[in-house]
Structure 1
């Protein structure tokens, strides 16, 4: 199927979905694993539900991105809010379609591949190697279990396989590549006039009739959100840390473990002389070999050079030429008999004869590398903290189990939970599905509070892991359905919306008039002065320029090339007004190097693959049964 659609998609530059592929599982989050058994859905794709919780998580992430875009405050625009909702639902629907496509095409990720990819992730490593404790901790901090994470990551890798397969199928010829280079790398000399909406806002008068008419048409957009307030019992590590006793013997054991761990990391520089002996050697051979090693030890002890004796007599071909030098040795590197003897020696000391399965050894300990061992008194405060942390870790698990069991067995009240754990019942003010204060800033808490079973049946929630060593259970105190806002409540919002629309109409009119005069030969400088418009001179820019308005650049690179030095003009809508672009000239690029053309070819293949996958998704979406909730 992919090949047939790829053939139809040649040359189509459709929706770019790299961001979608990257965000699929960011939007998804872990909602599939945290939602309750009964929950409202916002859409269905071939019978597979997109739940309210999944939508709320995706909306929360979208809001975060929008807040960054608008520097902390999203405009209070019902149109923008509706656009955000539609965009998020569309993305979630595409996610379901994408995962179905991956399954239908037979993309699978083997366990060994999954394991290798997980082990290679730096977030799960300590000192450059995979660390299972770090793995568990990072996953738990995200409110997941290991199985849930691995299932999600496996799906993500399968999607990447699909994208890679389509990317490899995209082909571009040399002639096409040269043309693409001419288009992509050319420079354009661009200036533009900017007419700001804000300059006209104060002069626009809005009548009550205009506001009323707007409300009659768009009133359904303005609603009080569904709200709940909750009671909850929370358990944190701090609750367990109060008055925690300290066992001096346990702390001393931790110190001994610390000393042992440093000893295990110690490295010793050593030399040896080996008289090899087969394990099945007869008694006479053993006697002869033992006599040889005893004689060598006697000569060493009388002061002969260890290095010279090793060179002449050692039967270890790896170290004998270097005077028996073995380099730096750590515990676990040598056979047990050799290691035991070496790590009993003092620096500069020579061992007695040591027997191993290789034969007879004489060992000399030359140097040592080790970490300084901190005294018990200097280390004690840290060890006490470590001891308490372990007690808290163990106790927290037990208390969490007690909380979960008690809340389930007494699901009509939190009092039993509070009594069992010696904790207080806390409350919140009302909050919505997307915003709250205090504990309700956490999306998992909000999702649990709006679970339909918790609301309709008045029962306690399941236990919620807010973050590591912080859990809670909750129940809903008050619940208010979403309701329409009155005209009086939204009058100021509507007035602002109309004012913005009128201001945009005004800037558009000024821009059209200015463009007419520019095309008649007037200078852009004179039009800037006459209309009190900003004149921005970008100069020579390329498509990938990031310091200029992307709206202006995108439009400028679609404009017709100027002929005989005569500028061309085009109107562009800006985020805060309207602009008139002047394109003065187009400069072709220099001949690209082979390396530059290779990079361009790779970019083309990725873009072509994105386009192809977009066509595939569009086709599959059109063939899917999609049901959207009427409430959104």
Structure 2
């Protein structure tokens, strides 16, 4: 039985479904339930709208994902308007593609049953504890995401229906052995090279950049110095977490709560179960024969090993796992928890066939001691008190920030908070906790920026409210020349130094080809595409683009990202006689082919669809 369940959950289709369900949950599902503000329309796909708020939220989630993945490097990318515009368009294109797929799914009449959704939920690691579905964990994640079970089910139903289409598309591709061999020969090829480095820094010290050159570069490249609209905010926040941190819980209150809620801190009775499963036309007769052998004195484990059709558990004497009430089906569960320790049930007819159950070990209900759970209880009680205080203060926050619209000090005084000041930021680089799409919409709205008014109160998280006002505002434009002069001087100096290094490299290569072998060469034998640690990764990549000479060595110069020039001699190219990982490469090629098919399929849907971008069109006309 367990073997069949395991086989079903480990298939390729199941893995694809689960991974894409989680991705959609993170990027394009949850935001539909976080607010009702539709804002401007970002795109219209065959008459179906994608609103600006949905796009902003998905875009913010993508930024958070990249920040977690790239760390401080992403902060540099945030300062590049072109990169951020491209990233935003990529997110919008992904949402458009999903809408097109959803429309195609509906057109084809693909459906997902409630049973399939329940099975997928039980297998999602987000809802598991110790490898098993945990209902308390499930409810906690739902609460943290502001979702109901029905809402999550709707999200998953759409995703899984979409995957019925995609699994067929992605799973039908294959690659031949010849294709894999050809790719392996290229990937596993090695090269012998000699390298002479010409450092740009050696030519930079004597260079002087005049102001005319700086100004000329500045005027010729205005986009490099573009500055997005920026704002500096004052803000007041009301947060249950902050309130609860200041609350002390008396020990007698914690103990009273413990006594009144014993079930919360009790471990239910659990039993180590074993079973035998019998399937087929003669299942009942074989089950009764096996039970007779056990009743006759044979060890349950020995009979299970030889007779059970559940081969996975049979190898372990029929043992399954520790179980609490409600883990298995009703018939199995009732039988297991009615047995004494070591007891064996009668033959049971269940949804899986005929079964015999054994309660190998029994652990009674246990309660965790008060000292062990006191801190947990303190946190619960403090949060309850903070929740009541939060409800009392949130109305004052809304009322006073509205009644005194040109200052936040009175609002802060009324709720016992402080007026905080943010750094300068644009729409793409807002710091926490201001990096919320609805809050950013308020921060950059006309009432806040032009009229100097307090914003509406915005919920940025569970029981976390913020109201803002503009302390300062900088319109979008170009950074002044004085601010970027040093940056331009450094850039021009590096360019000119690299040009001088290139001239020297060309001369050295000509001498080398004429027979004057330079000193201080770096020799690398049998270097592969991963490099050897001695050569720059960019240089290694470029070396594998060089065509070998018919006879002798092939010479070339390669400019590196830092401006240095490498003079290289490609001496030999070797293809291994024994290739590794051919089957893995065939799988990768099949996957790549499937992905290309997916992109082509989406492109075909777009070609036949009417996709309108009203926000982009409106901005382009301004």
TM-score, normalised to structure 1, is 0.65
1:186 and 1:588 in contact (8 A); partners too: yes
Match in the other structure for 1:209: 212
- In structure 2, C-alpha distance between the alignment counterparts of 1:142 and 1:335, rounded to whole Å: 33
- In structure 1, C-alpha distance between the alignment counterparts of 2:31 and 2:404, rounded to whole Å: 23
| Matched residue SS, 2:105 | coil
How far does the alpha carbon of each residue in 1:329-368 deviate from its partner, in whole angstroms, 9 at most, with x for none? Answer: 976899989979969xxxx9xxxxxxxxxxxxxxxx9986
What do you get for the CA RMSD once the two structures are aligned? 5.4
Match in the other structure for 1:609: 594
Match in the other structure for 1:574: 560
Offset of 1:213 from its aligned partner?
1.2
Match in the other structure for 1:85: 84
Match in the other structure for 1:541: 527
* Larger-gyration structure (1/2): 1
1:449 and 1:475 in contact (8 A); partners too: yes
Aligned counterpart for 1:175 among listed residues 170, 175, 178: 178
C-alpha distance 501-571 of structure 1, shift in aligned 2 (>3 A): same
Q: In the alignment, is residue 599 of structure 1 matched against residue 584 of structure 2?
A: yes
Q: Which moved more, 1:482-491 or 1:218-227?
A: 218-227
- In structure 2, C-alpha distance between the alignment counterparts of 1:335 and 1:39, rounded to whole Å: 52
C-alpha distance 73-248 of structure 1, shift in aligned 2 (>3 A): closer
Q: Which moved more, 1:166-175 or 1:613-622?
A: 613-622
How far does the alpha carbon of each residue in 1:362-385 deviate from its partner, in whole angstroms, 9 at most, with x for none? Answer: xxx998645875554x34733642
Matched positions, count? 535
C-alpha distance 151-604 of structure 1, shift in aligned 2 (>3 A): same
Offset of 1:202 from its aligned partner?
2.9
Offset of 1:43 from its aligned partner?
8.4
Aligned counterpart for 1:381 among listed residues 374, 378, 401: 374
Q: In the alignment, is residue 551 of structure 1 matched against residue 521 of structure 2?
A: no
1:233 and 1:414 in contact (8 A); partners too: no
| Matched residue SS, 1:106 | helix
Aligned counterpart for 1:74 among listed residues 69, 73, 76: 76
| Matched residue SS, 1:74 | helix
Match in the other structure for 2:308: none
- In structure 1, C-alpha distance between the alignment counterparts of 2:131 and 2:501, rounded to whole Å: 58
Offset of 1:545 from its aligned partner?
5.4
Superposed, 1:100-115 pairs within 5 Å as: 100-106=99-105, 110=112, 112=114, 113-115=116-118
Q: For structure 1, which runs of at least 5 residues remain unmatched after alignment? A: 1-18, 270-315, 349-364, 530-534
- In structure 2, C-alpha distance between the alignment counterparts of 1:224 and 1:366, rounded to whole Å: 71
Match in the other structure for 2:416: 423
2:458 and 2:466 in contact (8 A); partners too: yes
Superposed, 1:54-453 pairs within 5 Å as: 57=60, 60-61=63-64, 64=67, 68=71, 70=73, 74=76, 81-106=80-105, 110=112, 112=114, 113-138=116-141, 164-225=167-228, 226-243=230-247, 246=250, 248=252, 251-252=255-256, 254-255=258-259, 257-258=261-262, 262=266, 264-265=268-269, 317=292, 320-322=295-297, 369=363, 375-376=369-370, 378-379=371-372, 381-382=374-375, 384-389=377-382, 391-392=384-385, 395=388, 398=391, 402=395, 412=405, 418=411, 422-433=415-426, 434-435=428-429, 439-440=433-434, 446=440, 448-451=442-445
1:189 and 1:540 in contact (8 A); partners too: yes
Offset of 1:208 from its aligned partner?
0.8
Match in the other structure for 2:493: 499
- In structure 2, C-alpha distance between the alignment counterparts of 1:394 and 1:209, rounded to whole Å: 63
1:512 and 1:571 in contact (8 A); partners too: yes
Match in the other structure for 1:465: 460
C-alpha distance 317-571 of structure 1, shift in aligned 2 (>3 A): same
How far does the alpha carbon of each residue in 1:270-296 deviate from its partner, in whole angstroms, 9 at most, with x for none? Answer: xxxxxxxxxxxxxxxxxxxxxxxxxxx
Match in the other structure for 1:352: none
| Matched residue SS, 2:175 | coil
2:226 and 2:477 in contact (8 A); partners too: yes
C-alpha distance 319-185 of structure 1, shift in aligned 2 (>3 A): same
Offset of 1:162 from its aligned partner?
5.8
| Matched residue SS, 2:550 | coil
- In structure 1, C-alpha distance between the alignment counterparts of 2:143 and 2:621, rounded to whole Å: 34
Offset of 1:206 from its aligned partner?
0.8
Match in the other structure for 1:13: none
Match in the other structure for 1:357: none
2:102 and 2:162 in contact (8 A); partners too: no
| Matched residue SS, 2:221 | helix
| Matched residue SS, 2:493 | helix
Offset of 1:158 from its aligned partner?
6.5
How far does the alpha carbon of each residue in 1:110-166 deviate from its partner, in whole angstroms, 9 at most, with x for none? Answer: 364454434323232223222344345446657878777767666666776665444
TM-score, normalised to structure 2, is 0.66
- In structure 2, C-alpha distance between the alignment counterparts of 1:194 and 1:142, rounded to whole Å: 55
Match in the other structure for 1:510: 504
Offset of 1:207 from its aligned partner?
0.7
Match in the other structure for 1:359: none
1:415 and 1:425 in contact (8 A); partners too: no
Q: Which moved more, 1:183-192 or 1:546-555?
A: 546-555
How far does the alpha carbon of each residue in 1:73-119 deviate from its partner, in whole angstroms, 9 at most, with x for none? Answer: 7399x8xx244235314423432442244235438673644544343
Match in the other structure for 2:287: none
Offset of 1:210 from its aligned partner?
0.6
C-alpha distance 248-432 of structure 1, shift in aligned 2 (>3 A): same
- In structure 2, C-alpha distance between the alignment counterparts of 1:62 and 1:331, rounded to whole Å: 39
1:231 and 1:427 in contact (8 A); partners too: yes
- In structure 1, C-alpha distance between the alignment counterparts of 2:187 and 2:505, rounded to whole Å: 29
How far does the alpha carbon of each residue in 1:36-80 deviate from its partner, in whole angstroms, 9 at most, with x for none? Answer: 84767888888856678459637845873796485x87399x8xx
- In structure 1, C-alpha distance between the alignment counterparts of 2:332 and 2:97, rounded to whole Å: 54
